[in-house]
Every structure is written in structure tokens, then in C-alpha cells.
Structure 1
Amino acid sequence: MNCAGCFREQEIEGYCKKCLKELFNGQKVNHVLPFNSPYKEESDLYTNLTKKMSISGVQVKYSMRLEEGKLILTEKGGQYILKPIPSGQFKNLDQAPANEHLTMQIARQFFKITVPPNAIIYFSDHSPAYLVRRFDVKPDGLKYQQEDFAQIAQVTEETHGKNYKYDLSYEELGTLVKKHISMHKVEIEKFFRLVLFNYVFSNGDAHVKNFSMIQTDVGDYVLTPAYDLLCTRLHAPDESDMALTLFKDGFSDAYHAQGFYTDFDFLLLGKKTWHKRHPRCKDYQ
């Protein structure tokens, strides 16, 4: 058997000790919820708890908190986000929870990208859901100050139209990192790694609201752990590999020649956003 969090081999079902510690502060929490999924639940259990979120506009999420070793749905004091199988006309939606969970684990375990603790959890009707611990909630229940890049760039639907989340480029987001984060030389490398990861894994949902900054306990700002990582091609085969363009001025000559981004483009992005005198970027104009 494998841990429903990190996939580590173990002799019992559920979560390994490490995942129990990271997800639930060491409390032994069952990997099966004591209620059905929202699509089979006939009661009003989910009434007023549904919140729209973005996986091509069809995903829903629910807020949960841990109480006496059990996860319960809640309107206030949420510590976790629960994402069941979404509904809609996209392909392979029954695999959406596994898609996001696996992509997040690959990002953490192989690409060393910081992500919040996450796992697969099951409803009592055996339907899977993706569970992630909120990183913006302090131990005392208060929230850290957090702003996504749409807020930082002051880009809204009112000012930029319905597609405002896709109006900026990754180059421009990198500029915001350098402008608003004091330790930007460290954070810009994390940003670059995440942009490259999203391209490799065809995450067409990595728009401006899926990048955020958060205030630390000492008052400065850093990038948040990565979130909403998944391969959108599995559900929308015709969707672009990138939610945003790499550059604010459009595509490079290399892109026009090849029809897709290459190492040239990412080295050029590194030069524009990271370090203009970096030795690996000196020949990329």
C-alpha cells in the first residue's frame, strides 16, 4: 500500500506518520470522510458552502477544519481546502483530484518546489477528492497578509476585462517580484523554477492570481508556496501549455522559428528577470 499523501510504501491504508504530522499536526485522521461527495449527498450538507474557483471555471472547493481528530465542513475558521471531482464538459474530470495531487507531489519531491501539505482523501461513497492545508492560516487561527499578483499589479475585471488574469506576462510578474520583495534574488529563482515547471507539465492555469506573496512573521514578503499545480492538458487537450506569454513584448525569434518555447526563451527570461550578467545568459539577446 502507498501513503495517500506522499506515496510512500506502508503496510496500512491512509497516511504515513510524516504526512499526519505535516497535514494534521500528528493527529491520526482517517483518509475516508464520514459523508458522501457533493454529487451523491442528498441532504443540504453542502448548501452555502460551495465556492467557485479556477480550473477552467468548473472546479468547486469547500472549506474544512480539524476538530477532535475529524475533518468537518465549515463556513468559518477553515484550515483546509477540499476539492472534489469537478463537473463540466471537460475531459477526464474524474481524474482531476489525482492530477493535482500527483503534480504537487512531483513539484515537491523531484523539483524541490515548496508546496503546502496535500493528499488524496475519499468520501464515504469512495469518490476521491484533493485535500490541501492552507498556508495563510496562523496557528492561532488568524491569517497572514497575502496578495496575489493581480492585486499587486492592480489588474481587475473592471479595469482589464474578463480575461484580466491572462493579460500580464511572466516577465512582468518577475519584475513585480524584484520590486516588492526585499530578498528578490532568492525569490526570483523560485519564481523562475515554478514558471519552468508549469511549462514542462502543461499547466495552462498558471495565471496571475495563481502567484502570490505572503508576509512573514518578521514583516517582510516572500512568494507563497506553489498552489493549483496540475496538467490542464489532461482535461483540455486544446488548451495552451502556458497561461501567460513569457515576454511582455510578445514572442522571440526562436519561438517563431520552432513554434514553441525552447531553452533560448527560458534563458532569455532568466536574463530579463533574474540577473542580466548571468554567464549562461550572456549570449541571449
Structure 2
Amino acid sequence: MTTGADLRDIDRADVYKGNVRAGSLTRSGDNVSFHYDDDYLARPGADPVAWSLPTDAVDVSVGAGSVPPFFAGLLPEGVRLSGVVAGMKTSEDDHFTILLGVGSDTIGDVRVVPHETELQPATLAFDPESPSPDLRALFDQLSGPDSMRVDTASLPGVQGKVSAQMYTSPVATTQGAAILKLAPPERFPRLVENENFFMAVAESCGLVVPRRQIATDARGVSGLLVQRFDGDGDRRLAQEDACQINSLYPSSKYRMKTETVLDTLASTVERGGGSARQAALELLRLTVYSYAIGNGDLHGKNYSIRRKTSGMWGVTPAYDLLCTQPYMGWNDPMALTFYGRNNKWSRDHIVDGAARHRLPRKAVERVLDDVCAGVRAATSDVESIGFDDKTTSRMTRFISARCDELSS
């Protein structure tokens, strides 16, 4: 097995699109460049590795130790990144080496491995049907110095005001690829239960969400297992988030505007054979729902599109949905503005903003009505999250008030 120290000495990587080698990444000093293979370009209908890397592009080169933005979007963040960096004995700005270590199982259908290295199947690390293991010990294995041995998947993490504290790591299970999420209960109580609850509510509001389950170990530590949706059996599906589509580095995820996200993702879906209007409405539904529940972490990496099994592109299932307010003093605005506002939205503000995207007023009002009805119906069940009575009561009032704003 190649060690972290060995990877620091490697200066060329093979880039696969699905199971076909499409190109290479080459490191020369602090510069990293991407180049398509001539054999790949000669294939009939060869797909680009990413929307920001068209097949007619010349070499794409960046400096300062970075990799091109699309590849940077494949790198882990937060706790996962810290563990991988420690295990590889490198630094967080050494993008190329980190990508060599975790790139064999990234989100989507692009994989990156050291030059002339064969692709390896994902390792099996967790059986959710067996007696639950020590979840924190498992996470330490997946994200600590041993993580390169147990599971080499890379998940672009959610690093924000609350969710940076969520321990998030990919994990292979007997039921398929999943994401394991743990929370530090001392600082962020009921974070796992919070997300599980609002993911379920999202479904009642018309959003598509992945399958998930809460696992609790013998010590009472809860983890949320969320099914990955970037594959169909053994087939991988292309997937990109708003930062990648806009050729932005992950550090820009809080500097985007919601209207830009809607425009660029919807137009990209249309280029991929899907419906721009349907995509924009689905993204708007996700945005409205996040506002209604007080989710202040809906940033640029939490809006994504994928290539469906039909070959057409569309919006991915929604993910990372929770009410961040209890952890942020009940004053957590939206991560991205929507036409100049990150708070104090109203029904008219949403309708007027959507009109700029040429979305039919009736369809937009239906989105608003669906979300408000679903969230209001859930207020009677907020206590099931497990917060104390005071927090439960305040959360109920908060989301009810948000629904009132979106109803008038």
C-alpha cells in the first residue's frame, strides 16, 4: 500500500471518468495542471470530466499548491480533512497529495489515483444490521491516521457555522455506500436527531431526500447513516455542486448568491438534457424550506446536480437539512443572500425574486404553500427531537413565525 510519505513524492495522477482513464494531473513545483488523454478524446461521445473542464480545453493549470477548482471540490473538509492530513503527514494546503490519498472514491463518477495504479473497490467498514460498534472509535478509524487503511473515500464536508462541528465521514456498509455523521453532544446536543427529523419533514414538503437511519451504540452515542446517491449499483453517477459548476474553490461557498446558484445550476441542467424550469423550482423549494426551518447552513456546496440514470441531468436529493437556530442563539441568518436579503424574507420577496428567473407565479406559490403546510404540520412533533421543553417551545414558535412570513 502506498503510504502518505510516498504520496508526497508522486507528481502524476491518473483521472478516471467512470472506469475509463480520461486524463492526468501533474505536479511541477507548486503548479498543478490537468490534461486530457488523446485516447480518451478519440472515444465517440467522450464526456468531459466536469462541466468546468470541457474536452476542447487546453491544459488547465493552477499554482500555490492547489488543484483546479473542480478537483478541490472533491477534497474532504473539517474533521475528516484534519484526520487525513495527520495520517498522511502533510499540510492542508497540499491539495495534490491529499487528493492522491482519498481520490479513489470521491463523490460523483470522477476518481483520482497515483499514475499507473489500478482502481480498487471500496472497502467494507460497517454493518448497520449487526450490533452497533463504538461509533466514535469507528469514526476515529475513518478520519484519523488509520483512515487511509479503513476507508479511502472522500466526502466534501459541510464546514459552516454549525455543521463544521458535525463529524462527517464516508463509510462503506453492507447496504451500500453511506455517510456517517456524528455530533459532539456537549456543545451541540441532539444534532443527529435534529437533522434526521428535518430530513423527514422535507419529504413531506415535496423535497426528495436520501434514505437514512439513526444508529446508536452501546454507549448511547447516536450516528446518522445517510445513503449516498451518486451511484446506481456498480455504476457511478456524475455529480457537481454549485461551487464546482461555477469553477469556484470551496472557500467561496459562503460568498455566492442564491440567485446565481439557481441560474447556473438550472442552465447546466438544461445543457445536460434536463428541464431548467423544473430544476430552478426544485432549488427554490430547497431554499424556501431551509428558510422555513431556520437552516443557516445552506451554502454553495449544499446545492448540487447530478446525471441521472436516464442520462439527463437534474437536481440531487436534498441533504444536510437541520434547524441551526438552537446552536446559534436563535439568530442564524441564511448562509447566502437572495436578492440582497439573508433574513426577514416574505412571500412577496420570494415571488418577486422567482419572477426574475421567469418562474410561473402559480408554481412558485405552490412551492411556498407546500413548504408552509408541511412545516406547520410538523410543529406538533418537534418534541420528538429530544430537546428540553424550553428549546422545543422556542423552536416551534420560530418555525411557525417563519411560515407566517412566507404565507403573507
TM-score under structure 1 normalisation? Answer: 0.69
Offset at residue 37 of structure 1 (A): 2.8
Percent identity over the alignment? 23
Give the distance between the partners of 2:131 and 2:259, measured in 1 at CA.
43
Q: Paired residue for 2:233, among 133, 139, 162?
A: 139
**Which residue pairs with 2:329 in the alignment?**
237
Tell me whether 1:105 sits opposite 2:200 in the alignment: yes
* Aligned length, in residue pairs: 223
Offset at residue 192 of structure 1 (A): 1.1
Code of the residue aligned with 1:153 in structure 2: it is N
**Which residue pairs with 1:6 in the alignment?**
none
Give the distance between the partners of 1:79 and 1:170, measured in 2 at CA.
30
Structure number with higher helix proportion: 2
Q: How does 1:42-121 map to 2 (within 5 A)?
A: 45-46=141-142, 47=144, 48-49=146-147, 53-56=158-161, 57-67=164-174, 79-86=177-184, 91=187, 93-108=188-203, 110-121=204-215
**Which residue pairs with 1:165 in the alignment?**
253
Unpaired stretches in structure 2, ≥5 consecutive residues: 1-126, 149-154, 365-408
Question: Are residues 180 and 201 of structure 1, via their aligned partners in 2, closer, same or farther at CA, if it must alter by over 3 Å?
Answer: same
2:140 and 2:147 in contact (8 A); partners too: no
Q: Paired residue for 1:128, among 222, 237, 240?
A: 222
Give the distance between the partners of 1:43 and 1:177, measured in 2 at CA.
33
Code of the residue aligned with 1:202 in structure 2: it is G
Structure with bigger gyration radius: 2
The structure, 1 or 2, with the larger RCO (C-alpha pairs under 8 Å, 6+ apart) is 1
1:31 and 1:121 in contact (8 A); partners too: no
Question: Are residues 280 and 137 of structure 1, via their aligned partners in 2, closer, same or farther at CA, if it must alter by over 3 Å?
Answer: closer
Give the distance between the partners of 2:279 and 2:302, measured in 1 at CA.
16
TM-score under structure 2 normalisation? Answer: 0.50
1:113-160 residue CA offsets vs partner (Å, 9 max, x unmatched): 1000012111221211111000012201x4211100001112225xxx
Give the distance between the partners of 2:224 and 2:281, measured in 1 at CA.
28
Q: Secondary structure at the match of 2:232?
A: coil
Offset at residue 83 of structure 1 (A): 0.6
Code of the residue aligned with 2:200 in structure 1: it is Q
Q: How does 1:1-285 map to 2 (within 5 A)?
A: 30=129, 32-33=131-132, 35-38=133-136, 41=137, 45-46=141-142, 47=144, 48-49=146-147, 53-56=158-161, 57-67=164-174, 79-86=177-184, 91=187, 93-108=188-203, 110-140=204-234, 142-156=235-249, 162=251, 164-182=252-270, 183-237=275-329, 239-247=331-339, 250-251=340-341, 260-275=344-359, 278=361
Give the distance between the partners of 1:42 and 1:99, measured in 2 at CA.
22
Code of the residue aligned with 1:229 in structure 2: it is L
Offset at residue 87 of structure 1 (A): 6.7
Q: Secondary structure at the match of 2:165?
A: coil
**Which residue pairs with 2:103 in the alignment?**
none
Give the distance between the partners of 2:128 and 2:264, measured in 1 at CA.
40
2:168 and 2:182 in contact (8 A); partners too: yes
1:80 and 1:134 in contact (8 A); partners too: yes
1:190-225 residue CA offsets vs partner (Å, 9 max, x unmatched): 111111000001111100000001011232210100
